[in-house]
Structure 1
Amino acid sequence: MSQRKLVLYIASSLDGYIATDEHNLDWLFNVEGEGDNGYSAFYETVDTILIGRITYDWIMEYEKGVFPYKGKECYVFTRTKQDDNEYVKYISEDVVQFTKVLKNKKGKNIWLLGGGDLFHTFIKEKLVDEIIVTIAPVLLGKGIPLFRDNSFQTLLSLKSTNRFNQFVELHYEVVKKYT
């Protein structure tokens, strides 16, 4: 049985930020895309979503309390114990061990949705298999970086590129044999 892939799927400004310092994404919605910019096709490849607590809270506020990922198995990583609800299970245990077990379960790919601290941990621990980043033609100058400063290197192999009007999607596979 082959292991499920953990895929980081996200949008970024050209200068590498996923949100402003205030967690604002208005800049992203001001760019002219094409259809849903490939979102639906990607969404069909996953059955599980991993979300950091700050990102989850932002999504719920933005969606006015309506959970947008119904029908998917969703886990929210949090440092404080929370009660599960009908859509998400809160995870306060070790994220690395939890994810290794999850990747070995049968199913479709796993979407690493956000946020920045979670990305850093997953990449550092070599849990990410693919990175799909959609670049918006915007320079934010500062904000929440897609990738934090780190003391490790990760080699990627380009799988594909797609253009959605003003957006460019870059799809990479993480090269696991790199040391």
Structure 2
Amino acid sequence: MNQRRNTVLYIASSLDGYIATKEDSLEWLFKVEGEGDNGYTEFYETVDTILMGKRTYDWIIQEMEEFPYKNKECYVFSRSSYEDTENVKFIHEDIKSFVNKLKNKDGNNIWVVGGGELLHSFIQENLVDEFIITLAPTIIGNGIPLFKEGNYQLDLSLKGIKRFNQFVELSYVKKNPLLDKTILK
């Protein structure tokens, strides 16, 4: 029997809960003094599949000299039809059924890279198993929120805390109601 793969959000956020400015800038993030690669390599080795939205993909293509996920299976969710590239496959099908198919395949963790729209869909469909959020000691006032307003509630349990100089990484997993119940005698 194979074990279901976990879907993990691994992302950085400002202290006030934004993942980028309204202009999609991450300049505020790169000004923060970290430690090494802030745990990125360690995390990256635990995943073999990358999921992202089209807006995040476009930012990566525009801002980075080279596609950073060449050695991983990479899917980009889009409402429009695009031709697959050597690095990514574009997905237009139902998010929940597609992700559940991935989770039932053998493999390592599945990384939800972003962005906010895709994450919102994943949360609404209860598809994220673990949240690893690295907080930067920066308040940017407005921008693209990590969590969009919505009609949902997720109960999480703290798995761990790591510090990388000025960054703090918080790791949460979904609570398992069966494990959280105690029997009163």
TM-score (norm. length: structure 2) = 0.94
Residue in structure 1 matched with residue 142 of structure 2 by the alignment: 142
Residue in structure 2 matched with residue 99 of structure 1 by the alignment: 99
- CA–CA distance in structure 2, aligned partners of residues 102 and 165 of structure 1: 35
- CA–CA distance in structure 1, aligned partners of residues 17 and 151 of structure 2: 18
- CA–CA distance in structure 2, aligned partners of residues 81 and 163 of structure 1: 41
- CA–CA distance in structure 2, aligned partners of residues 177 and 61 of structure 1: 43
Query: Does the CA contact (< 8 Å) of 1:132 and 1:171 recur in 2?
Result: yes
Structure 2 unaligned segments of length 5 or more: list them.
179-185
Larger Rg: 2
- CA–CA distance in structure 2, aligned partners of residues 2 and 129 of structure 1: 13
Residue in structure 1 matched with residue 17 of structure 2 by the alignment: 16
**How much does 1:177 deviate?**
3.4
Is 1:62 aligned to 2:63, yes or no?
Answer: yes
Residue 12 of structure 1 aligns with an amino acid whose one-letter code is S
TM-score (norm. length: structure 1) = 0.97
Residue in structure 1 matched with residue 34 of structure 2 by the alignment: 33
- Within a 5 Å distance, the mapping from 1:123-134 to structure 2 comes to 123-134=123-134
**How much does 1:94 deviate?**
1.1
Query: Does the CA contact (< 8 Å) of 1:9 and 1:132 recur in 2?
Result: yes
**How much does 1:151 deviate?**
1.2
- CA–CA distance in structure 2, aligned partners of residues 125 and 78 of structure 1: 17
- CA–CA distance in structure 2, aligned partners of residues 94 and 84 of structure 1: 18
Aligned-pair identity (%): 60
> How many residues are aligned here?
177
Residue in structure 2 matched with residue 72 of structure 1 by the alignment: 72
- CA–CA distance in structure 2, aligned partners of residues 177 and 56 of structure 1: 35
- CA–CA distance in structure 2, aligned partners of residues 152 and 89 of structure 1: 29
- 1:5-61 C-alpha deviation (Å, 9 max, x unpaired): 000000000000000001100000000000000000000000000010000000111
Structure 1 unaligned segments of length 5 or more: list them.
none
- CA–CA distance in structure 1, aligned partners of residues 16 and 35 of structure 2: 22
- Within a 5 Å distance, the mapping from 1:40-55 to structure 2 comes to 40-55=41-56
- CA–CA distance in structure 1, aligned partners of residues 121 and 176 of structure 2: 16
Residue in structure 1 matched with residue 182 of structure 2 by the alignment: none
- CA–CA distance in structure 2, aligned partners of residues 120 and 91 of structure 1: 17
Kindly report structure 1 stretches of 4+ aligned residues shifted beyond 3 Å: none
